[in-house]
Amino acid sequence: MDRRAFVQLGGAAAVPSLQKPSGRAPAKVRMKIGTQHSMADADLRVMAAFGVNHICGTLPSRKLDESWSVEGLTRLRERVESFGIKLDMLPLPLSSGYITRAEMPNIILGKSPERDREIDDICQIIRNTARAGIPALKYNLTVLGVVRTESTPGRGGSRYSTFTYDKAKQEPPLTEAGPVPADLFWERITYFLKRAIPVATEHKIRMACHPHDPGMPPKKGFRGVDRVLGNVEGLKRFIDIVDSPYHGLNFCQGTVSEMLQDPGKEIFDVIRYFGRRRKIFNVHFRNIKGRFLDFQETFPDDGDVNMIQAIRVYKEVDYDGMLMPDHVPRIEGDTGGRQAFAFAFGYIQALMQLVTQEG
């Protein structure tokens, strides 16, 4: 076992990265372990048994209907709470899929009057969510969805989701959205934010946007799309478009690591930048091997990022939301990734105990 793996598995108290940080006052731990699994009763029982007492639920409906009514959302929250789990967040019908599978495609396609009707529906969902006592919503603003190339071998015969830009097929050369250069994408993002975030601010609903996964070369892009939320500078610009404490990020640590040339060194200052500005509303706590345009998604202890150091940085910036697994590796016979997710939950629980004991 190499030293990095030894450290991440907690091999010895003498290893510097496992020692209690010194030189600063201990900080209270306000973050909590969370999940974005289904809200079926059987799954909620499993989460409760794991000690996962906070959840980002699954999409209630692809459109504004009874499931998104105040009554429907209240019933949903109360059912989740009956298992001792808090419903901290829901996904909007602005998912991470390719544009032809989008629930509300015109927000990103920029087609009026359809996009105005879709934004009006999003605003009503925000109001109803607040009245039902659910404090946050997550969403995506994407054309390409999640882009990957062929999976590659991982630890113990598992398969790691992989992206290598030079191997990615850009066929056909344009998506159904046509050319989407950076200035056009920013116009459409800004149009949405300036209408939706004031409603979220009025009703005190945190709006957590997921970065573009993965980032692509600026200007060159992928299939005619410049992924403006696929780099750190783009995320900085994004959070400054509207000045509101309810406008922030679904901070996918894996996706942000994919933007960096040396994620094992660079990711911590990125967490600090957004964390100190109170713009991290949720964390997908996952690891990668590799770098910008060439990476694998790994088990949490098998990547280039020291996850012990990462969780200490979240504690340092007083992050108060959920840490949750995401994009787990595939294991033969592991239907739905349940075993891989169980491993990730246990790993996060152990790190939570570590930083809690440090004070």
Domain ranges of the chain: 33-357
Query: In which band, very low, low, confident or very high, does the pLDDT at 28 lie, cut at 50, 70 and 90?
Result: confident
pTM as predicted: 0.92
**SS3 call for 127:** helix
Tell me the average pLDDT of the chain.
Answer: 93
Collapse the DSSP code of 77 into the 3-class scheme (helix H, G, I; strand E, B; otherwise coil) and give the result: helix
| 198, burial (CB in 10 Å: exposed 0-12, middle 13-18, buried 19+) | middle
- Of 3.20.20.70, 3.20.20.150, 3.40.640.10, 3.40.50.720, which CATH number belongs to 33-357? 3.20.20.150
pLDDT at 24: 54
Instruction: Give the tens place of pLDDT for each residue, 115-128.
Output: 999 999 999 999 99
Task: Quick: pLDDT tens for 190-216.
Answer: 999 999 999 999 999 999 999 999 999
Of 233, 236, 274, 237, the closest CA to residue 253 belongs to: 274
pLDDT exceeds 60 at position 15: no
What's the whole-number mean pLDDT along residues 270-278?
A: 98
Residue ranges with strand state E in 231-316: 247-252, 280-284, 287-291, 294-298
Q: What's the rounded Cα separation, in Å, for the pair 139 and 121? A: 14
**Is the pLDDT confidence value at 8 over 60?**
no
The answer to whether the beta carbons of residues 237 and 123 sit under 8 Å apart is no
Name the one residue in this structure whose structure tokens are 């939570």.
352
Give the model confidence (pLDDT) of 298-324 as tens digits.
999 999 999 999 999 999 999 999 999
